[in-house]
């Protein structure tokens, strides 16, 4: 018997910056500054809080997430301890008494339909910004554009965007740099009508570089800058902080695209280290000792308590 979809309603989201226990602290002749926008973005916060709420309200049900809810091992472990399982296939997603959660990165329409056909109770926690990219990609593919998706080919968000667009066109390509664009230039030259979307957590510099390269190649170029506002703000703020810091510390999973992009951007500005939690600080004792002004930022999937532990350790 087919079950109904879980109606999550319209959540009211707190999008104010979540600062740590101290946004700026002077200690041991060092100044430590925490970026105002560090930690969970609204989409991640929504996904994590709703998943926990579903388990609390349905303690007897088997709650499973199709793929990692977010790219943070500490959060995944916390969910596992609550009895919320991460699975890698639709068949393993849920049993007759369970709820299957679609993670923040989204899935393809075909995968969603398969879940419905199998009778799973579904909670769709795809980030609203990711859904917008999927919609724009479908719109371009249906309108006859060769679709270029700027992002990491293996990233689950990009995989889902591509799969949705491919339902309407075979001319869908993922590129992460100029070299990848060059590989599809013969197809671009033939069609002369190109549409572009971009992974929500991509670097704005990469987006601009690729679109600037594409512009003279085609007769028509339709571009949607689908980098989410949180990512743009976080990158801009982190760059400003890096320009006045001797050392930048980026906190978050090395599997998180937006976190690794932050580290890449800041490395070009000042000395930068990327750590997953406070335990890794001991690997950089010299860098920390030699820095008088330290800036700290974190990816959109980094919990506040992990950021605060880093700040606490820097202050001891």
Last residue of a domain, one of 74, 92, 127: 127
Q: Are 225 and 245 in contact (CB under 8 A)?
A: no
* In the predicted structure, residue 11 carries a pLDDT above the cut 70: no
Over residues 220-225, mean pLDDT: 96
In a domain, 152, yes or no: yes
Over residues 279-292, mean pLDDT: 95
How high is the pLDDT of residue 194? Answer: 97
In a domain, 76, yes or no: yes
In a domain, 153, yes or no: yes
Q: What is the pLDDT of residues 175-188, one digit of tens each?
A: 999 999 999 999 99
Q: Which domain holds residue 237?
A: 24-41+229-314
Tokens read off for 167:
């339902």
Question: Among 78, 157, 183, 243, which one carries the catalytic annotation?
Answer: 157
Choose between 9 and 262: higher pLDDT. 262
Last residue of a domain, one of 90, 112, 127: 127
Last residue of a domain, one of 109, 127, 145: 127
157 has catalytic annotation: yes
Q: What is the pLDDT of residues 132-181, one digit of tens each?
A: 999 999 999 999 999 999 999 999 999 999 999 999 999 999 999 999 99
In a domain, 3, yes or no: no
Whichever domain contains 97, its CATH number is 3.40.50.11270
Residues 107 and 141 in one domain: no
How high is the pLDDT of residue 7? Answer: 32
Q: Count of domains in the chain?
A: 3
Q: What is the pLDDT of residues 86-123, one digit of tens each?
A: 999 988 876 657 899 999 999 998 899 998 888 889 99
Q: Are 232 and 130 in contact (CB under 8 A)?
A: no
In a domain, 37, yes or no: yes
- Mean pLDDT, rounded, of the chain: 89
In a domain, 4, yes or no: no
How high is the pLDDT of residue 29? Answer: 73
Give dist(CA 230, CA 79) in Å, integer: 25
Tokens read off for 90:
């639709």
* DSSP code per residue over the chain: -PPPPP---------S----S-SEEEETTEEEEE-SS-S--HHHHHHHHHHHHHHHH-TTS-EEEES-SSS-HHHHHHHHHTT-EEESSSTTS--TT-EEEE-TT---HHHHHHHHHTT-EEEE---HHHHHHHHHHHHHHHTTPEEEEES-TTSHHHHHHHHHHTTT-S-EEEESSHHHHHHTHHHHHHH-EEEEEE-TT--HHHHHHHHHHHGGG-SEEEE-----HHHHHHHHHHHHHHTT-SEEEEES-TT-HHHHHHHHHHHTTSEEEEESSGGGGGGGHHHHHT-SEEEEEE-TT--HHHHHHHHHHHT-
Q: What is the pLDDT of residues 12-66, one digit of tens each?
A: 233 333 443 345 555 567 899 999 989 899 899 999 999 999 999 999 999 999 9
In a domain, 5, yes or no: no
In a domain, 10, yes or no: no
pLDDT > 70 fraction of the chain, expressed in percent and rounded: 90
**What is the total residue count of the chain?**
316
């Amino acid at each position: 018997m087919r079950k109904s979809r879980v109606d999550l309603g319209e959540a009211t989201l707190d999008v104010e910056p979540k600062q740590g226990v101290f946004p700026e602290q002077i200690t041991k002749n060092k100044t430590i500054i925490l970026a105002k926008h560090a930690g969970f973005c609204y989409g991640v916060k929504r996904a994590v809080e709703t998943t926990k709420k579903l388990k609390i309200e349905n303690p007897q049900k088997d709650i499973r997430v199709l793929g990692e809810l977010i790219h943070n091992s500490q959060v995944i472990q916390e969910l596992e301890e609550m009895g919320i399982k991460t699975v890698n296939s639709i068949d393993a997603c849920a049993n007759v008494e369970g709820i299957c959660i679609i993670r923040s990165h989204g899935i393809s329409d075909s995968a969603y339909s398969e879940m419905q056909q199998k009778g799973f109770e579904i909670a769709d926690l795809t980030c609203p910004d990711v859904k917008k990219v999927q919609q724009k990609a479908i719109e371009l593919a249906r309108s006859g554009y060769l679709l270029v998706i700027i992002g990491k080919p293996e990233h689950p968000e990009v995989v889902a965007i591509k799969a949705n667009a491919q339902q309407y066109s075979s001319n869908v390509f993922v590129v992460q740099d100029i070299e990848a664009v060059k590989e599809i230039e013969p197809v671009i030259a033939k069609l002369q009508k190109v549409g572009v979307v971009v992974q929500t957590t991509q670097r704005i510099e990469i987006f601009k570089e690729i679109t600037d390269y594409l512009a003279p190649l085609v007769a028509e170029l339709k571009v949607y800058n689908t980098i989410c506002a949180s990512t743009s703000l976080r990158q801009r703020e982190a760059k400003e902080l890096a320009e006045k810091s001797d050392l930048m510390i980026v906190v978050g999973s090395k599997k998180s695209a937006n976190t690794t992009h932050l580290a890449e951007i800041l490395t070009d500005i000042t000395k930068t280290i990327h750590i997953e939690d406070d335990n890794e600080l001991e690997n950089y004792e010299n860098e920390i000792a030699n820095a008088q002004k330290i800036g700290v930022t974190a990816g959109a999937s980094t919990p506040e308590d992990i950021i605060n532990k880093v700040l606490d350790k820097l202050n001891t």
